């Protein structure tokens, strides 16, 4: 069984110029936008007291995004907000002037015109972009990497998008989407990874993710938890991780939580960067076949990387078995705790946390992070059973792939 590997962050710090992307003011704007949707409802923050006791922790909280907008994943928060910000910019308006009712109106469509939103995805992001495009009366074109399951393909197709599965990995599909958009009138790339020259829309996507984090922060206080001591968050390109960690650093500048980033081992570009220790981006290439499809990304978001190398304590490379373990433990927790239906990418951080607390080989990491009976740990289950067949195979049949 492949081990969990980790790298404590010793990278040189930067001037933090990207941290204001996740300022409280920006996140409040994104939250207000999402609250205007008729489908909006806070997703649950589930407390697992018995599981916490079993693992030797004080408190465990799981933000359950399987309830988000009926789409079974959090990604729609980023894509929808970025698209609204783009429309606002093109029509010379503020996004606060474009709540759902206005944004989806015929009058605004006539003013804005017709655009085609291009993206690459393993499933959840593309479904969110396709859904938002349909709400806006716009077009969406989605490129999916090889290894994509038919269920995820069909979910996007059902939203009216033009979608294909390519014989390429995720990062190559990103380049395909950008190239295709450049050849179409009013073609717009809506991607949650950033590169030199493409940073505005990814920043908007990160701000959209901030709605989820702000909700969780407020819900913690309803439980009587003033702030988490530790935050575990998964990463593909790092946009979500940068959004979560950037939010908490802005929110608690003096005493932020200890933050841990978890990646799929076959695509652990952030971990490789942290292991090198020089602060430079590392790229992972190849097929990147993993059950954690949402994390199978080998090229970091440049905005997020800047935030992560300044404010992440530890980067972890996780094998598939850790994600599968997390899925099973959340689906059938200790008696008295509320079960959480968590998909492969959503459950990976919890599976890693459980191993850190129970596996003797992780003792050094457990001690470094200071995880103990006083710890209050927050995690984000970013997806539910987005591929029901695979979910059942892992949780019911005990498979790890």
**pLDDT tops 90 at residue 122:** no
**Rounded mean pLDDT, 74-83:** 96
Give all strands (DSSP E) within 201-269, no chain letters. 230-234, 258-264
Residues 108, 109, 114, 120, CA torsion sign: positive
- pLDDT of the residue at 287: 85
Domain locations in the chain? Answer: 5-73+207-395, 76-200
CATH for the stretch 76-200: 3.40.50.1100
**pLDDT tops 90 at residue 172:** yes
Q: Which of 47, 63, 75, 139 is catalytic?
A: 75
**Rounded mean pLDDT, 288-316:** 95
Q: Which of 47, 63, 85, 122 is catalytic?
A: 122
Common-topology check for domains 5-73+207-395 and 76-200: yes
| Helix ranges restricted to H, 91-123 | 100-103, 106-112
**pLDDT tops 90 at residue 302:** yes
Active site residue 337: no
Are 161 and 126 a contacting pair, CB within 8 Å?
yes
Considering the segment(s) 5-73+207-395 as one domain, its CATH architecture is 3-Layer(aba) Sandwich (3.40)
Give the integer Cα–Cα distance in Å for 266 and 263.
Answer: 8
Are 86 and 203 a contacting pair, CB within 8 Å?
no
pLDDT digits (tens, 9 = 90+) for 229-280: 999 999 999 999 999 999 999 999 999 999 999 999 999 999 999 999 999 9
**pLDDT tops 90 at residue 132:** yes
**Rounded mean pLDDT, 155-170:** 96
What average pLDDT does the chain have? 96
Class of residue 38 by CB neighbours under 10 A (exposed 0-12, middle 13-18, buried 19+): exposed
Residues 6+ apart with CB under 8 A from 232: 260, 262, 349, 350, 352, 353, 377, 378, 379
Active site residue 139: no
Give the integer Cα–Cα distance in Å for 89 and 176.
Answer: 25
Confidence of residue 5 (pLDDT cuts 50, 70, 90): very high
pLDDT digits (tens, 9 = 90+) for 353-401: 999 999 999 999 999 999 999 999 999 999 999 999 999 999 999 998 7
**Rounded mean pLDDT, 333-353:** 98
């Amino acid at each position: 069984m492949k081990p969990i590997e980790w790298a404590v962050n010793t990278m040189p710090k930067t001037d933090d110029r990207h941290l204001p992307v996740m300022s409280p003011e920006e996140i409040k704007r994104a939250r207000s936008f999402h609250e205007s949707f008729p489908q909006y409802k806070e997703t649950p923050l589930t407390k697992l007291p018995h599981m916490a006791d079993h693992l030797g922790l004080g408190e465990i909280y799981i933000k359950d995004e399987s309830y988000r907008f009926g789409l079974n994943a959090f990604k729609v928060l980023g894509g929808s907000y970025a698209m609204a910000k783009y429309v606002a910019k093109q029509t010379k308006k503020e996004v606060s002037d474009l709540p759902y009712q206005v944004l989806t109106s015929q009058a605004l469509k006539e003013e804005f015109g017709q655009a085609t939103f291009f993206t690459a995805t393993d499933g959840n992001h593309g479904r969110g972009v396709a859904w938002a495009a349909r709400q806006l009366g716009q077009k969406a074109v989605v490129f999916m990497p090889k290894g994509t399951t038919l269920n995820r393909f069909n979910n996007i197709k059902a939203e009216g998008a033009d979608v294909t599965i390519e014989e390429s990995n995720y990062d190559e599909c990103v380049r395909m989407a950008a190239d295709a958009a450049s050849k179409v009138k009013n073609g717009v790339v809506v991607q949650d990874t950033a590169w030199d020259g493409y940073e505005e829309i990814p920043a908007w996507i990160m701000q959209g993710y901030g709605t989820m984090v702000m909700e969780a922060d407020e819900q913690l206080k309803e439980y009587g938890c003033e702030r988490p001591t530790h935050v575990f968050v998964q990463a593909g390109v790092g946009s979500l991780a940068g959004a979560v960690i950037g939010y908490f650093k802005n929110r608690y500048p003096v005493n932020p939580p200890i933050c841990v980033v978890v990646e799929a081992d076959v695509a652990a570009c952030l971990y490789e960067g942290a292991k090198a220790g020089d602060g430079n981006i590392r790229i992972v290439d190849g097929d990147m076949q993993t059950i954690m499809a949402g994390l199978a990304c080998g090229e970091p978001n440049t905005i997020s990387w800047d935030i992560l190398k300044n404010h992440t304590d530890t980067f972890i490379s996780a094998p598939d078995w850790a994600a599968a373990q997390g899925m099973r433990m959340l689906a059938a927790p200790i008696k008295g705790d509320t079960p959480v239906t968590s998909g492969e990418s959503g459950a990976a951080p919890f599976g890693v946390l459980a191993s850190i607390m129970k596996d003797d080989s992780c003792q050094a990491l457990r001690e470094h992070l200071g995880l103990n009976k006083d710890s209050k740990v927050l995690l984000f289950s970013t997806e539910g059973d987005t591929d029901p067949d695979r979910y059942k195979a892992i949780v019911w049949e005990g498979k790890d792939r």
